[in-house]
Amino acid sequence: MLKPTINQSCSLNNLLPLHKPFVHGDATNNSSSSAYSPTILRQNTSTKKCNATPARSTSAVGNIKAVVIPFLTKATTVKGVITIQPTIRSALSGVIIGDVADGVSDLLGRSFLLELVSEDLDSKGNQKTVKAYARYKALDFDINVYTYECNFNIPDDFGEIGAVMVENEYSKKMFFKDIVLDNGVTFTCESWVQSKYDVQAKRIFFTNKSYLPSETPEALKSLRAEDLESLRGNGEGQRKSQDRIYDYDVYNDLGAPDLSISLSRPVLGGEQHPYPRRCRTGRPMSTKDPLSETRTILPFYIPCDEDFSEIKTAQFGARTLYSVLHAVIPILKSVLSGRDKFPLFTHIDLLFNEGVNVPPVEGGIASALPRLVKGVETAKAVIKFETPETLDRDKFSWFRDEEFCRQMLAGLNPCSIQLVTEWPLMSNLDPEIYGPPESAITKEIVQQEIGGCMTFDEALAQKKLFMLDYHDLLLPYVNKVRQLEGTTLYGSRTLLFLTSSGTLRPVAIELTRPPSDGKPQWKQVYTPTWDATGAWLWKLAKAHVLSHDSAYHQLVSHWLRSHCVTEPYIIATNRHLSKMHPINRLLVPHFRYTMQINALARLALINAGGIIESTFAPGKYCMQLCSDAYDQLWRFDHEALPADLISRGLAVEDPTAPHGVKLAIEDYPFANDGLLIFDAIKQWAASYVNYYYPQANLVESDEELQAWWNDIRTVGHGDKKDEPWWPELKTQDDLIRIVSTIMWVSSGHHSAVNFGQYDFAGYFPNRPTIARTKMPDEDPTDEDWQTFLKRPEDVLLSCFPSQIQATQVMSVLDVLSSHSPDEEYIGANIEPAWEAEPAIKAAFEEFQGRLNQLEGIIDLRNSDPLLKNRSGAGLVPYQLLKPYSEHGVTGKGVPNSISI
C-alpha cells in the first residue's frame, strides 16, 4: 500500500476528467501539473461496461480500454519528479524548448503526460490508473539535468504502484533518467521517450521491483507483454532512428558493391560463412549485389536506447572513435599519401617526439582528441602521439626474445597460447591441396634448443612445451592474400619452452607456404641463433608471427570473442526478458554502449576498405577469416575463463586449488588476475540467481528465460544451433554458469584484450599489424639476397607497416585504449533495482568488496620479484585486470561493458 503522505483530499475534481490541465496559477493547490486528472480503470471488453464516458487511452494493451471512476473517492496527493538528461547541444540552454509548440507545452504545464498503473485490479478485473501532467521545473547545473514535477491524486484503495506510462508532449525526443515519487516509488528509465508526434504509443516503465513472469502482478501482465512485443518488431521495413526494435540479420553490410565491385564482400552468417547475427537495420539491398545491404555515410541504425552519443561528453568512446575515423584518418591519408616505409627507426621515434604536421582542424576534433591533436590554435595542427608505456620503460624491449614470449602471458593477446599435447605437430588440412601435413619442427630441433635443461620426452611429458598455432587457420588464405598488393602471409607455428624460473623461451618458428603456381609447398624453421644472418632471419620470422598474432588478436580475441558474440545476447535480452525481469536487470550494465560501438565498427573499421582491411595482414579476407575462426574455434562453453584455460591445456580442474583449477604456468598474469575477477563475478551471479530462483523448477518454468536462451542458441548464434556443447538451462547452476560467462566476456575478457592496445602496439615494431614482404630466404633472387645481407634493417623496415598504415592504426588504438571520464567500472556503482532489494544490495556490496581487495592483490603481485612475467627491469606491470582506473589511456580498468 501507499505510504502515508500529506495533503489528503476528497475532491469533486475526481468525478470528471479535465480535458486540459490548468495553466499555472489557476489550480487550487497552485500546482501547474494537472494534479486533478481523473483516476482511470482499464477494463477488459468481456467485462460489463460502466455507463461513464470513456477517457482516451493511447495504450495498445490487448482488449483493455479506459473508463472514468463514477464515484467520489478519498485520495492522497503524491508528488513526482522526472529527471531528464539534456542532449549535449541543449545542456547549457537552460530550458528545453525546441520550437513554438514546445514553448506552449511548457506554458500550459503539458510537457509530459504520466499515467500511473496499480499492481492491483479492482473487483471487476479492471486495471486502475491515474494521470497527471508534468511541467518543467529547473535545470540543475551541478549534475546537468532538467527536472519536471507533477502531482497525482491517488485513491487510497489504489494499491501498490507497478508501472507508469509516459507520453512526450514535446516535438523532440527526451532522455528520461528516472521518475521518483515522494511515496518511495522509483522508476529507473535510462531511456529515450520519443515525441508523441513520432511515436503514438505511450512508453511503459516499471518500478525497480523485479518479478519473474510467474510472479508478475495480474494488473501488470498485459503491460509486460506489450512492452516486450514493442521491442521485437516484425522483421520487416527499414528501421528509423526513433525505433526501439531489436531483431536479427546477417552481416551483409560490410561490402559496398554499389561503389565498386572490388568492394563486394561475402555475407557472413549462414551455411557458407557461419557467424553470429547483428541487429537488423532493414536498409535497401544493393542494386549490384542482391545479397548485400546498402551502406550509408551516417551511423547505422541501432535501437534508440542503445544510442548515447547525444547525451555523453565529447570524450565518450563512440564519439572519439567517430572523430578519429572521419576526421583524423582522412587527414593522415592526405598528408602521408605517396610515402611508403619509414626510412630509419629514428623516423618512427619522430611520431612521438615531433608528430605529423597537418592542416588546421576543427576545434571540436581537438577537444574530443586532446591526446592526439595538438596546436589547433596555430596556423598548423600537429597529430602527435603519446609515447607508449612499453617504449617509455624500455626502448629495446620489442627486440628481445624474452619479451616476445612474456607478452603471450601478460600482453595484449594472452588467450592464444596453448599446451603441446601431441607429437609430431600435424596439420588437419587436406594434403592434396596444402601439401604434407607434418611440421618441419622436429624432435631433434627441439632437443638442440632445450638440451641443457631436459630431454625432449621429459619436456613433453612434464608439460613444458607450448605454442602459438596459426598454421591451419591462415594457410588456406596464403595464396589469396599474396595476390593482394603490399602484403604477404604464411601459416605459422611458434614453439616455446617453459623454463625452471617460470618464464618462456622461444624454441622455433615455422613458416609455411602452400603449393602454388606449380611450386611445391615451402616451409622453413627458424631458431634463435648466434650468427648475424640467422639472427636477422629470426627477427624477421618474429615480425611475421607478430603480424599473425596481431590479426588474430584483433579479429578473433577482440572483435569476435567480445564485441561480435555479445550482440546476439543483447538482442535476445531485449526481445525476451522484460525490463522487470531480474536477469535483464543483472545483465543490462554489461550491455551498455556495445551496439553503438559495433555499428561504428561495421561503418568504418571492419568494412570493405576500412581500417582493418587496410592495415592488417589478411587484407580483404580479414572478416572471412574471422568467420572461419567462429566456425572452427568458438564455443560458448569455452568462453568462461576457467573453461578457456582448460581447453587450451593451460589449466586442469583441481577442486583443491583456489579457483578450482591448477595452472600449467603458475606465473600467468592474465589467468592469475582474471580468475580473481571471474570468481567474484560468479559469486555475485550465484547470490543473485539463487535469490530470485530459490527452486530449480523456477528456472525451467520461466518462459521468458527459456525463450531468451533458445533465441541466443538458435537465432543469434543459429549457425551453431545443433552443436552438442551448448549448456542446458534447467537449474540455478546452469543459469549461473551462463550469465557468469556473458558477464566475464563483456567485462574482464574485453578489458584484457582491449585497454592495453596502445601501450603494447602503439610502438608498432613491438606488434606490427602486417608483414608486407616475404622472408628473404623464400625463393630469393641474387639481388634480393644481397640487399638483405647488406642492409637487413632496411628489409625489416620494408616488412613493417607503411607510414600511413602505422599512423592509422596508432590513431585508432589510442582511442580504443582510452577510458572516457564517465566510464562505468565493474562493481563501482549499484544499479537502482539491486539497491531496492536488501538481499541483493548486500550481495553486491560483497562483490564490490572483493573487487576492491583485488586492486591491492594485483599491486602486490606486480612488486613480487619472484613473478618474473610481471615484475622486472623495464617491464610494464600487468594491470589490465585492475578493476578501476582514471580516465584516458592507463593500461588498467575493467568497465562493466564493451564500451569502446
pLDDT confidence band for 334 (50 / 70 / 90):
confident
The mean-pLDDT minimum among 42-51, 99-108, 161-170 falls in 42-51
Is residue 65 scored above 70 in pLDDT?
Answer: no
Which neighbouring-strand residues pair with 787? none
Q: Mean pLDDT, to the nearest integer, of 273-296?
A: 95
Which neighbouring-strand residues pair with 44? 64
pLDDT confidence band for 649 (50 / 70 / 90):
very high
Active site residue 558: yes
Supply the pLDDT for residue 315.
59
Cα–Cα distance, 257 to 260 (Å, whole number):
5
Active site residue 563: yes
Cα–Cα distance, 576 to 581 (Å, whole number):
10
pLDDT confidence band for 216 (50 / 70 / 90):
very high
Q: Where are the alpha helices (DSSP H) in 731-776?
A: 732-744, 750-754, 757-761
Q: Which of 153, 168, 208, 754 is catalytic?
A: 754
Quick one: how far is CA 249 from the chain centroid? 18
User: What percentage of residues in the chain have a pLDDT greater than 70?
Assistant: 87
The mean-pLDDT minimum among 28-32, 698-702, 739-743 falls in 28-32
pLDDT confidence band for 55 (50 / 70 / 90):
very low
Give tens-digit pLDDT for 744-800. Answer: 999 999 999 999 999 999 999 999 999 999 999 999 999 999 999 999 999 999 999
C-alpha cell at 783: 639481388
Cα–Cα distance, 324 to 333 (Å, whole number):
12
Is residue 30 scored above 80 in pLDDT?
Answer: no
Cα–Cα distance, 671 to 650 (Å, whole number):
9
Supply the pLDDT for residue 37.
34
Residue with cell 624460473: 501
Tell me 718's DSSP state.
G
- Select from 232, 259, 253 the least CA-distant residue to 244: 232
Q: Which of 273, 544, 563, 717 is catalytic?
A: 563
C-alpha cell at 744: 566475464
Q: 689 by DSSP, 3-state: which?
A: helix
Cα–Cα distance, 65 to 724 (Å, whole number):
48
Which neighbouring-strand residues pair with 468? 494
pLDDT confidence band for 338 (50 / 70 / 90):
confident
User: What percentage of residues in the chain have a pLDDT greater than 90?
Assistant: 78
Cα→Cα distances 186→205, 208, 220, 785, 828, Å:
10, 6, 16, 74, 21
Q: Which residue has the higher pLDDT, 14 or 785?
A: 785
Q: Are 678 and 641 spatial neighbours (Cβ–Cβ below 8 Å)? A: yes
Query: HEC profile for 642-656?
Result: HHHHHHCCCEEECCC
Supply the pLDDT for residue 336.
87
pLDDT confidence band for 40 (50 / 70 / 90):
very low
The residue type of 461 is: A
Cα–Cα distance, 48 to 732 (Å, whole number):
44
Rounded (10°) angle between helices 669-692 and 732-744: 140
CA atoms in the 13 A half-sphere facing the CB of 349: 7
Cα–Cα distance, 194 to 200 (Å, whole number):
9
pLDDT confidence band for 360 (50 / 70 / 90):
confident
Query: b/e per residue, 366-388, with b = 16+ CB within 10 A?
Result: bebbebbbebbeeeebbbbbbeb
CA atoms in the 13 A half-sphere facing the CB of 467: 22
Q: H-helix or E-strand containing 714?
A: none
Q: Are 385 and 372 spatial neighbours (Cβ–Cβ below 8 Å)? A: yes
Q: 249 by DSSP, 3-state: which?
A: strand
First to last CA, the chain: 44
Q: To the nearest 10°, the Cα dihedral for 184, 188, 192, 195?
A: -20
C-alpha cell at 511: 613458416
Q: To the nearest 10°, the Cα dihedral for 201, 205, 206, 212?
A: 70
322-326-332 Cα angle (round to 5): 125
- Select from 540, 538, 543, 264 the least CA-distant residue to 551: 543
Is residue 147 scored above 70 in pLDDT?
Answer: yes
Active site residue 583: no
Residue with cell 528509423: 240
Q: Mean pLDDT, to the nearest integer, of 454-473?
A: 97
Supply the pLDDT for residue 318.
73
Cα–Cα distance, 680 to 683 (Å, whole number):
5
- Average pLDDT, rounded, for the chain: 88
Is residue 518 scored above 50 in pLDDT?
Answer: yes
C-alpha cell at 163: 508501472
Residue with cell 592526405: 334
Q: Are 730 and 641 spatial neighbours (Cβ–Cβ below 8 Å)? A: no
Supply the pLDDT for residue 764.
97
Q: Which of 570, 606, 612, 900 is catalytic?
A: 900
Q: Are 611 and 604 spatial neighbours (Cβ–Cβ below 8 Å)? A: yes
Give tens-digit pLDDT for 392-430. Answer: 999 999 999 999 999 999 999 999 999 999 999 999 999
Q: Cβ of 354: how many Cβ atoms within 10 Å?
A: 10
Q: Mean pLDDT, to the nearest integer, of 27-41?
A: 33
pLDDT confidence band for 380 (50 / 70 / 90):
confident
The mean-pLDDT minimum among 62-66, 103-107, 159-163 falls in 62-66
Going 450 to 454 to 458 to 461, the CA torsion angle's sign is: negative
Supply the pLDDT for residue 364.
62
Q: Are 602 and 254 spatial neighbours (Cβ–Cβ below 8 Å)? A: yes
Q: 469 by DSSP, 3-state: which?
A: strand
Q: Mean pLDDT, to the nearest integer, of 297-316?
A: 79
Q: Which of 471, 638, 749, 750 is catalytic?
A: 750
pLDDT confidence band for 314 (50 / 70 / 90):
low
Q: Are 30 and 102 spatial neighbours (Cβ–Cβ below 8 Å)? A: no
Supply the pLDDT for residue 374.
72
pLDDT confidence band for 676 (50 / 70 / 90):
very high
Is residue 47 scored above 80 in pLDDT?
Answer: no
Q: Are 880 and 663 spatial neighbours (Cβ–Cβ below 8 Å)? A: no
Q: To the nearest 10°, the Cα dihedral for 299, 302, 306, 312?
A: 10
Is residue 93 scored above 70 in pLDDT?
Answer: no
The residue type of 666 is: E
Q: Mean pLDDT, to the nearest integer, of 295-317?
A: 79
CA atoms in the 13 A half-sphere facing the CB of 626: 34
Rounded (10°) angle between helices 703-711 and 565-576: 150
Is residue 26 scored above 70 in pLDDT?
Answer: no
Supply the pLDDT for residue 21.
31
Q: Which of 558, 659, 717, 749 is catalytic?
A: 558
pTM (2 d.p.): 0.90
Q: Cβ of 218: how many Cβ atoms within 10 Å?
A: 11
C-alpha cell at 686: 550465484
Q: Which residue has the higher pLDDT, 24 or 418?
A: 418
**Which distant-in-sequence residues (6+ apart) come within 8 Å of 120 by Cβ?**
128, 158, 159, 160, 217, 218, 219
Cα→Cα distances 796→168, 344, 773, 776, 790, Å:
62, 10, 9, 10, 12
Q: H-helix or E-strand containing 283?
A: none
Supply the pLDDT for residue 143.
73
Cα–Cα distance, 659 to 103 (Å, whole number):
60
Q: Cβ of 649: how many Cβ atoms within 10 Å?
A: 15
Supply the pLDDT for residue 296.
86
Tell me 857's DSSP state.
H
Cα–Cα distance, 287 to 283 (Å, whole number):
12
Is residue 362 scored above 90 in pLDDT?
Answer: no
Give tens-digit pLDDT for 838-853. Answer: 999 999 999 999 999 9
Tell me 246's DSSP state.
-
The mean-pLDDT minimum among 12-21, 164-173, 331-340, 535-544 falls in 12-21
What stretches of 194-313 adopt beta strand conformation (E)? 203-206, 248-249, 278-279
- Select from 621, 628, 597, 618 the least CA-distant residue to 719: 628
Q: Mean pLDDT, to the nearest integer, of 222-231?
A: 97
